[in-house]
Homo-oligomer: A and B are copies of this chain.
Amino acid sequence: MPTPSATPVSPACAGAPATRATAPPVSPAAVGRALADLRAHAPLVHCLTNHVVAHWTANVLLAVGAQPTMVDNVEEAGPSARRADALLINLGTPQESTTAATAHAVAAAERAGTPWVLDPVGVGGLVWRTRTALDLLARHRPTIVRGNASEVLALRGGAGGRGPESVDDVATAIPAADALAREHAAVVAVSGATDFLTDGARALRLANGTPLLTRITGGGCALGALMAAFSAVTPDPLLAATAATATLTVAAEHAAARSTGPGSFAVALLDDLAALTPTSASDQVRLEAQR
């Protein structure tokens, strides 16, 4: 396993000094500390997510040491978001009622100063959710936006994927991610074989993971939920997004090593999210500065 400084880096910005190019803006040690903080605080994460992954997402949060709450009706979404430590908005299977609940939850979270994550599943190809996502971005400021390359491109006018999977490479979405991050003062995380994370000024890549994460439903959705959980325990959204990605993908590497297919992988992933130590997370995460 390469250490971060031993990993070849292709700086996106050729003029950047060599020292900035080789030291990622988030350190592996900070990732480990964030995981320890999450376990110590067990943040309450309010998830307005799609019904396909609701059970899985709640189990991921419990496994890692957070507390999920999944209230998605108009009456209670605002009050629930107000008392939570973080909020996740995932647009996977919107209905009229849950979309209205989303608006209440986001408004309540922002009034309370609570961090929130936008996971714009499937935007671009489908008009309604794309309008919802753009409207949220126009009126509010998410702490973190997480999507695959096609989804991030779609938030800047791209066509999106055909289904929930990306049809674009992570590298293709880097300019859009940087622009989005600067425009909305948010961290933007582009998920893929190598993850790209940026806050518009600082950027990094994360090279952990396994293809099995694409053979189960809700790998990306779980990542969005973990980003919300970590955003409750650190004031640095880039650290939160990085620690969440590291936690999921390092645990996924452990799980893949003892799985015989996607079913046993999903089970092992929950076990390994619970078993992952801060030391393993910081030792095994493969971070690279992007510029």
Whether A164 is near chain B, meaning CB under 8 Å from some CB there, is yes
Could you say which of A6-14, A50-58, A104-112, A137-145 contacts chain B? A50-58
- Verify B55–A218 contact, CB threshold 8 A: yes
Question: Which chain B residues lie closer than 8 Å to A128 at the CB level?
Answer: 73, 75-76
Whether A71 is near chain B, meaning CB under 8 Å from some CB there, is yes
Chain B, residue nearest A263 (CB): B270
Whether A157 is near chain B, meaning CB under 8 Å from some CB there, is no
Chain B, residue nearest A58 (CB): B217
Whether A18 is near chain B, meaning CB under 8 Å from some CB there, is no
Report the minimum CB–CB distance from A276 to chain B (whole Å): 10
Q: Choose one: B76, B125, B216, B259; the contact of A62 (CB below 8 Å).
A: B216
- What is the interface size of chain A, counting residues whose CB is below 8 A from a CB of the partner? 62
Question: Which chain B residues lie closer than 8 Å to A56 at the CB level?
Answer: 55
Question: Which chain B residues lie closer than 8 Å to A62 at the CB level?
Answer: 214-217, 262
Question: Which chain B residues lie closer than 8 Å to A274 at the CB level?
Answer: 215, 261-263
A residues 62-114 touching B (CB-CB < 8 Å): 62-63, 67-73, 75-76, 79-80, 83-84, 92-97
Chain B, residue nearest A268 (CB): B263
Question: Which chain B residues lie closer than 8 Å to A164 at the CB level?
Answer: 67-69
Whether A253 is near chain B, meaning CB under 8 Å from some CB there, is no
- Verify B55–A217 contact, CB threshold 8 A: yes
Specify how many copies of this chain sit in the oligomer. 3
Closest 10 CB pairs between A and B?
A: A261-B271, A263-B270, A75-B128, A58-B217, A263-B267, A69-B163, A261-B274, A76-B126, A263-B271, A52-B54
Sample of 27 A–B contacts (CB below 8 Å)? A53-B55, A54-B55, A55-B55, A55-B218, A59-B216, A59-B262, A63-B261, A63-B262, A67-B163, A69-B122, A70-B93, A71-B122, A72-B93, A76-B94, A76-B127, A76-B129, A79-B126, A259-B271, A260-B275, A261-B270, A262-B270, A263-B266, A263-B267, A263-B268, A263-B270, A263-B271, A267-B267
| A residues in contact (CB < 8 Å) with B | 44, 50-56, 58-59, 62-63, 67-73, 75-76, 79-80, 83-84, 92-97, 122, 125-129, 162-165, 214-218, 259-264, 266-275
